Amino acid sequence: MSTQTSAPPTPRASRPSAVNRILSGPVGRNLGLVVALLLIVVVGIATAPDTFANLNNALTILRQASVIGVIAVGMTFVIISSGIDLSVGSVMGLASVAATIAAVQDVVEQSHWLVMVVIALATGLVAGLINGIVVAYGRVAAFMATLAMMVGARGLAEVLAANRTLVISDPGFKRALNVDLLGVDVLIWIFAIVALAGWFILNRTTFGRRTVAIGGNPEAARLSGIRVKRHTMWLYALSGLCAGIAAVMMLGRTTAGTSTHGLLYELDAIAAVVVGGTLLAGGRGTMTGTVFGVLIFATLGNVFVQNNLSSSVQAIAKGVIIVIAVLLQQRFAAKPGR
Amino acid sequence: MRGVTKSFGPVAALRGVDLEVLPGEVHCLLGQNGAGKSTLIKVLAGVHAPDAGETLWRGEPVAIPSPQAAIDLGIATMHQELDVIDGLTIAENIFLGHELERAGVTRRAEQAATTRELLARLGHGSLSPHTEVGSLSAAEKQIVSMARALSHDTRLIIMDEPSAVLDTEEVANLFRVIGELTAQGIAVIYITHRLEEIRRIGDRITVLKDGASTASGLDVATTPTDELIRHMTGRAVTNVFPTRPGVPADASVLLDVDGLSLDGVFHDVSFRVRAGEILGLAGLVGSGRSEILETVYGARRATSGTVSVDGRRLPRGSVAAAVDAGLGLSPEERKSQGLILDEPIYRNVTLSSFAATARGGILDEAAERRVADEQIAALELRPADSSRAAGTLSGGNQQKILLARWLVHGARILLLDEPTRGVDVGARAEIYALIRRLADAGHAIVVVSSEIEEVLGLADTVLVIGDGRLLSSVDSSEIDEHGVLDLVMKGTAA
């Protein structure tokens, strides 16, 4: 039935079941993620009781989640708008190199390590803007435009780095990004702040609302007066900026820039976003889901490491989880009202 | 076939429906949106299982558990959204799922031959079976859909508003084809909003209201229209259109379109709309009506000419600038162009007006709901629950969401493209009254409709469009439906 006009709000009673309805709501989808995460935690506790279940290990998991997490926050916006950004890993590598080449390090020596941060962020932003301009104004499919950037940015990073690892000499930078605040690594704080900001932008600002509108129905968004092209451009810029932030975090963790930073991170980020319940077709998604998606993969990886299992086995498990998650998503996220 | 009888127990969507269809008749199914027409045909097509009631097929009780079961029985359905695949050829579409094959290899020549036969039977013998369906017009796609129905041994074809996408000539061909089908003893269940179509091709009518049949098997020839409307609405509808108070002579010109052209679509169109005036664009499908509206709105970039609001010229091809200047468009395809179907009503309403409901880019959801609720109350939108997904509403109420969007925005010039498409008869009068009320409140309104009667009944001034040119601009009281058609025919012939 396509419509119900004036009937009192009873006809919903004939829907399959109340349980199904709860599970299909936003609460239900995140509930599933909570359950999945708990399951993995239980497996971790059961298989590696001594090494898994302690605060230090929890912080390790969060630290490992943080870099991908920041990228996934930007990716969430792009995917909700029904786009995709394959370039984030490469852009991160490029930003990592751009911020640590000799010329920049010389300037840092005379001024402040913040110059490196600014250059990394600016590199990400500019690369994202280029993506956005090509996608929005050049009308190139997002997959192709960002694929080109993925290849090109990696190549440029290699040229700039000239196959060397660019060790950071400035002690201030290393200190600043390895500091603990309230016992928690600064990288985790950065992830938390970016995720919260992402949640706020998505749910509480006109930018977020317009993103959902564009993903849900781009033509309706355009005819309602939203500047869809300009908005799309900024979405990719945002994703690029997140890649730049991730590069800074990576530099803090490794204290060196290299063109291989962020290799294949785009795939991990996309997987986390999709497992988190964001529709690849756009129009629907949550930041909370994305954070859970990131945590699920990070925790899973940790459980495998604790049990001395190879990364190949881990990759297989990841693949299985992605398929299951997407299958469940289709089951519960049957589109209402169409 | 002795007929199909269906009755249901007390179900929400269908509460006891009886329907009897005889071989070789056109049985019209009439009812407002939400009356249960779609659910009923989905039961017949095997999409939904009924909770109670029975179906008799040629006198035998049958169960139709799946769409395939319906096809096997000889029941074919042509859905409103044409279910053909653009990337395949006509023949491939027709034989989709039951390809003629030998050891897994399709017998293309045979399929093509049968397709040619079917197309010829439907009066479209000139179409090649190897044409890609994506390149066909809506009417031709419908023929393909019908041919597919006939490629099975079909005894009953269900057509869900087949004329909605067709222009007058194509409708005539559709009716001719339906006539030939019924002559071969095939029964047709025909669903439509248009009463005049029922008059032309229907044999008998079943009327649904609120999931129950209020009248079954009425004879088309002897049942007067007001009786049908009474069955549909439970009340008699008289004087559907609101009265025109007349536009005051000193009303200011809000919208001034001068020499607007879009290469290859329309040429040199000029008109003015004053505050409180409803201007109607009449013309056939394909005459350029909708395109004119969209170009005024900036959704298409004009090749020449100007659009001015309050004497200020708008930049070409910028929707955002038009919206800022106070224009609002309710597009032809509400679902695909107007609404975010999965999003709640209030978010659809506030989509264009964050200035009122957000500060510095930060949303205020409480304010959004408040302004949306105000409009819901003012426009009598039902259900009055602003958190419902827009896609769950009926056509008339979806139209009201779009009106609400522009009223919240403070738009003074409303461009309404087919404001009553997919809106049932009872709700139309309400939309008409609403549009008139908005005009009386000082809005300038431009209405495009493929129903000439609607334009004439609603508008103060009528522009007749033919072949992308402005043929005439007349006071709506000085012209009737024949007059408009006359102009269109002459204008395009010249």
- Angstroms from A103 CA to nearest CA on chain B: 39
Report how far residue A14's alpha carbon sits from residue A1's, in angstroms, rounded to the nearest whole number. Answer: 12
Bridge pairing between strands B156-160 and B75-78: parallel
> Mapping DSSP to helix (H, G, I), strand (E, B) and coil, where does residue A259 land?
coil
pLDDT tens sequence across B298-331: 999 999 999 999 889 999 989 999 999 999 999 8
Residue A58 domain boundaries: 51-332
Q: Is residue A4 part of a domain?
A: no
Tokens of A263: 């290799």
Flag if B383 and A9 touch (Cβ within 8 Å).
yes
Distances (CA, A) of A190 to A62, A174, A288, B460, B486: 11, 15, 16, 62, 72
> Which pLDDT score, from 0 to 100, does residue B283 have?
80
Give yes or no for a contact between B455 and B447, defined as CB atoms under 8 angstroms apart. yes
Residues 6+ apart with CB under 8 A from A179: A186
Nearest to A113 by CA among A275, A218, A277, A257: A257
Q: Is residue A272 part of a domain?
A: yes
Distances (CA, A) of A168 to A113, A248, A251, B199: 10, 12, 8, 84
Quick one: closest CA in B to A4, which residue? B34
Range with the largest mean pLDDT of A267-281, B160-174, B242-256 = A267-281
Give yes or no for a contact between B251 and B275, defined as CB atoms under 8 angstroms apart. yes
> Which pLDDT score, from 0 to 100, does residue A13 have?
39
Report how far residue A157's alpha carbon sits from residue B325's, in angstroms, rounded to the nearest whole number. Answer: 47
* Amino acid at the residue B242: P
Give yes or no for a contact between B88 and B132, defined as CB atoms under 8 angstroms apart. yes
Flag if A2 and B340 touch (Cβ within 8 Å).
no
Flag if A209 and B338 touch (Cβ within 8 Å).
no
pLDDT tens sequence across B141-165: 888 888 888 888 788 888 888 876 6
Report how far residue B461's alpha carbon sits from residue B478's, in angstroms, rounded to the nearest whole number. Answer: 9
Tokens of A180: 């603990």
Across the interface, of B320, B354, B397, the residue whose CB is closest to A206 is: B354
Q: Is residue A61 part of a domain?
A: yes
> Is residue A24 within 8 angstroms of chain B, CB to CB?
no
Q: Is residue A157 part of a domain?
A: yes
User: DSSP per residue over B242-260, as a string?
Assistant: PPP----TTPPEEEEEEEE
Q: Is residue A33 part of a domain?
A: no
Locate CATH 3.40.50.300 in chain B: 26-233, 253-493
pLDDT value at A93 more than 90: yes
pLDDT value at A8 more than 70: no
Flag if A221 and B341 touch (Cβ within 8 Å).
no
- What letters, b where the CB count within 10 A reaches 16 and e where it falls short, cover B313-331? ebebebbbbbbebbbbbbb
Distances (CA, A) of A160 to A88, A96, A157, B180: 18, 11, 5, 75
Give yes or no for a contact between A116 and A247, defined as CB atoms under 8 angstroms apart. no
pLDDT tens sequence across B379-398: 888 778 888 888 888 888 88
Give yes or no for a contact between B385 and B427, defined as CB atoms under 8 angstroms apart. no
Bridge pairing between strands B327-330 and B413-417: parallel
Q: Is residue A100 part of a domain?
A: yes
Q: Return the CA Rg of chain A.
A: 21
Greater model confidence, A32 or A4: A32
Our CA dihedral for B159, B164, B169, B170, rounded to 10 degrees, sits at -50
pLDDT value at A10 more than 80: no
- The percent of residues above 90 in pLDDT, for chain B, comes to 14
Across the interface, of A11, A207, A217, the residue whose CB is closest to B13 is: A11
Flag if A283 and B427 touch (Cβ within 8 Å).
no
> Is residue A218 within 8 angstroms of chain B, CB to CB?
no
CATH code linked to domain B26-233: 3.40.50.300
Report how far residue B1's alpha carbon sits from residue B59's, in angstroms, rounded to the nearest whole number. Answer: 7
> Which pLDDT score, from 0 to 100, does residue B5 have?
57
Flag if B12 and A337 touch (Cβ within 8 Å).
no
Helices (H), A16-87: 18-24, 26-47, 49-52, 55-80
Domain count, chain A: 1
> Which pLDDT score, from 0 to 100, does residue B257 have?
93
Give B431-452 as a 3 state SS string.
HHHHHHHHHHCCCEEEEECCCH
Report how far residue B154's alpha carbon sits from residue B187's, in angstroms, rounded to the nearest whole number. Answer: 9
Mean per-residue pLDDT of chain B: 82
Give yes or no for a contact between B447 and B399, defined as CB atoms under 8 angstroms apart. no
Flag if A212 and B343 touch (Cβ within 8 Å).
yes
pLDDT tens sequence across A144-166: 999 999 999 999 999 999 888 89
> Which pLDDT score, from 0 to 100, does residue A155 have?
95
Quick one: closest CA in B to A200, which residue? B362
Greater model confidence, B275 or B149: B275
Flag if B395 and A212 touch (Cβ within 8 Å).
no
Report how far residue B337's alpha carbon sits from residue B349's, in angstroms, rounded to the nearest whole number. Answer: 14
pLDDT value at B261 more than 60: yes
User: DSSP per residue over B404-418, as a string?
Assistant: HHHHHHT-SEEEEES
State whether the Cα torsion A321-A327-A329-A331 is positive or negative: negative
Report how far residue B306's alpha carbon sits from residue B323's, in angstroms, rounded to the nearest whole number. Answer: 16
pLDDT value at B237 more than 70: no
- Angstroms from B224 CA to nearest CA on chain A: 26
Across the interface, of B340, B405, B427, the residue whose CB is closest to A217 is: B340
Q: Can you name the residues that pair with A256 across neighbouring β-strands?
A: A167
Mean per-residue pLDDT of chain A: 86
> Which pLDDT score, from 0 to 100, does residue A5 have?
41
> Which pLDDT score, from 0 to 100, does residue B353 have?
83
- 């030998």: which residue's tokens? B102
> Is residue B364 within 8 angstroms of chain A, CB to CB?
no
Q: Tell me what the mean pLDDT of segment A210-229 comes to.
A: 91
> Which pLDDT score, from 0 to 100, does residue A333 have?
56
Q: Is residue A1 part of a domain?
A: no
pLDDT tens sequence across A276-325: 888 888 888 899 999 999 999 999 989 988 888 888 888 898 888 888 87
Greater model confidence, A146 or A17: A146
Chain B residue numbers with beta carbons less than 8 Å from the beta carbon of A11 are: 12-13
Chain B residue numbers with beta carbons less than 8 Å from the beta carbon of A216 are: 340-343
pLDDT tens sequence across B419-469: 887 777 677 888 898 899 899 989 999 999 877 778 888 899 999 888 788
Q: Tell me what the mean pLDDT of segment B290-303 comes to.
A: 91
> Is residue B347 within 8 angstroms of chain A, CB to CB?
yes
Could you give phi then psi for residue A251, rounded to 5 degrees?
Answer: -65, -40
Nearest to B159 by CA among B197, B129, B209, B124: B197
Flag if B395 and A213 touch (Cβ within 8 Å).
no
> Is residue B33 within 8 angstroms of chain A, CB to CB?
yes
pLDDT value at B253 more than 60: yes
Chain A residue numbers with beta carbons less than 8 Å from the beta carbon of B389 are: 336-337
Report how far residue A4's alpha carbon sits from residue A18's, in angstroms, rounded to the nearest whole number. Answer: 20
Q: CA-based angle B339:A235:A245, to the nearest 5?
A: 150
Lowest mean pLDDT among A12-26, A93-107, A187-201, B115-129: A12-26
Q: Is residue A274 part of a domain?
A: yes
Chain B residue numbers with beta carbons less than 8 Å from the beta carbon of A214 are: none
Lowest mean pLDDT among A272-276, A328-332, B56-60, B123-127: A328-332
> Is residue A283 within 8 angstroms of chain B, CB to CB?
yes
Lowest mean pLDDT among A191-200, A316-325, B53-62: B53-62
Q: CA-based angle B5:B11:B14, to the nearest 5?
A: 50
Bridge pairing between strands B266-274 and A184-185: unpaired
CATH architecture classification, B253-493: 3-Layer(aba) Sandwich (3.40)
- Any idea what the CATH number is for the domain that residue A153 is in? 1.10.3470
> Which pLDDT score, from 0 to 100, does residue A332 have?
60
Quick one: closest CA in B to A210, which residue? B351
Flag if A336 and B343 touch (Cβ within 8 Å).
no
> Is residue A14 within 8 angstroms of chain B, CB to CB?
yes
Flag if A4 and B383 touch (Cβ within 8 Å).
yes
Inter-chain contacts counted by CB atoms under 8 A, chains A and B? 128
pLDDT value at A338 more than 60: no
> Which pLDDT score, from 0 to 100, does residue A17 have?
58
Report how far residue A78's alpha carbon sits from residue A143's, in angstroms, rounded to the nearest whole number. Answer: 11
> Is residue A206 within 8 angstroms of chain B, CB to CB?
yes
State yes or no: cis peptide before B67, omega within 30 of 0. Answer: no
